[in-house]
Structure 1
């Protein structure tokens, strides 16, 4: 039986390079018998964590009523989460970062409902061709994995992708292979 995969995308600009990476990953995963759902966090209205420590007081991870409510059932039913995003100013896009910040409610001392997620992968792209920018984001990703107790299934990045369609066929093949290899 295949795995259920949540692909969380962060680009507010649809059909860009990070979405192409996400779609290639999904294609490979589905070819291997897994199922995948794509949640476009970059196009949702998700506010950032306000550190109110009111997690779960209203039956939801966050008391702020926003599009994170749509993400909750996916977080609680998928066994793998893939983060696919462009790198903006050495980090995740703000829209995706807001969704990631709200994962706090599922870990540490505040986690009242378990996540089904046990594995994760990271797909990044951006205009800067240097590895340092992506290494910085990957470090943060590894800290998220540590906090939530997830197993890393790989990190893939490609720089030099400032314009839509700049992603290389090689990167798309690697993303597809990562999905196939779950």
Structure 2
């Protein structure tokens, strides 16, 4: 069955390691007949949630206008959500996290357009050699998936990649493509 997949990227570095992972995943997913949309949070202006409790008061998820309004229809039409980010200070990038914070609107009573997402994936890479460095980001992702009742379809954490393109010297791109093919 064909799925509508949304890939949210969070790296401000164009053509970097996490973007290469996202593109490999997309290649695999499209080869399997899925529809894929990619949304680059780092190229957008999205403020985090302000806890104003005015979600849906203006017929959009967030009452404050920014580029999250471009993301809303993609989120609302997705069956599967894929988070792709570099590791920044033990977590996801701030650009991606700002978008995720606004998911709050989809978890509040009175949500006018509930998400139909049923499953998710996390792909993350970073320079550190110790895989434990990813634990904070992975636990955050697992918490999000659990809270939103999404099935975790996989986590790909790639250490030892720092320079642009370093990931091409690992098997991570093949693993990302396989995640896309198998979804």
Which TM-score applies when normalising by structure 2? Answer: 0.96
- Residues 54-109 of structure 1 show CA distances to partners (whole Å, capped at 9, x for unaligned) of 11111111111000000000000010010000010011111110000000111143
Aligned to 1:72: 72
Aligned to 1:111: 111
- The answer on whether the counterparts of 1:85 and 1:125 sit within 8 Å (CA) in structure 2 is yes
Task: Find the aligned partners of 2:82 and 2:172 in 1 and give their Cα distance.
Answer: 16
Q: Which runs of 5+ in 2 are unaligned?
A: none
- The answer on whether the counterparts of 2:55 and 2:105 sit within 8 Å (CA) in structure 1 is yes
Moved over 4 A (4+): none
Aligned to 2:180: 179
* 1:123 aligned counterpart, secondary structure: strand
* 1:96 aligned counterpart, secondary structure: helix
Task: Find the aligned partners of 1:37 and 1:99 in 2 and give their Cα distance.
Answer: 16
Aligned to 2:88: 88
Task: Find the aligned partners of 1:173 and 1:28 in 2 and give their Cα distance.
Answer: 9
- The answer on whether the counterparts of 1:108 and 1:147 sit within 8 Å (CA) in structure 2 is no
Task: Find the aligned partners of 2:133 and 2:106 in 1 and give their Cα distance.
Answer: 28
Aligned to 2:8: 8
Superposition CA RMSD, Å: 1.1
Q: Following TM superposition, by how much is the alpha carbon of 1:112 offset from its aligned partner in structure 2, in angstroms?
A: 3.2
Task: Find the aligned partners of 2:80 and 2:54 in 1 and give their Cα distance.
Answer: 27
Aligned to 2:141: 141
State whether structure 2 residue 19 is matched by structure 1 residue 19: yes
Which TM-score applies when normalising by structure 1? Answer: 0.97
Q: Following TM superposition, by how much is the alpha carbon of 1:163 offset from its aligned partner in structure 2, in angstroms?
A: 0.9
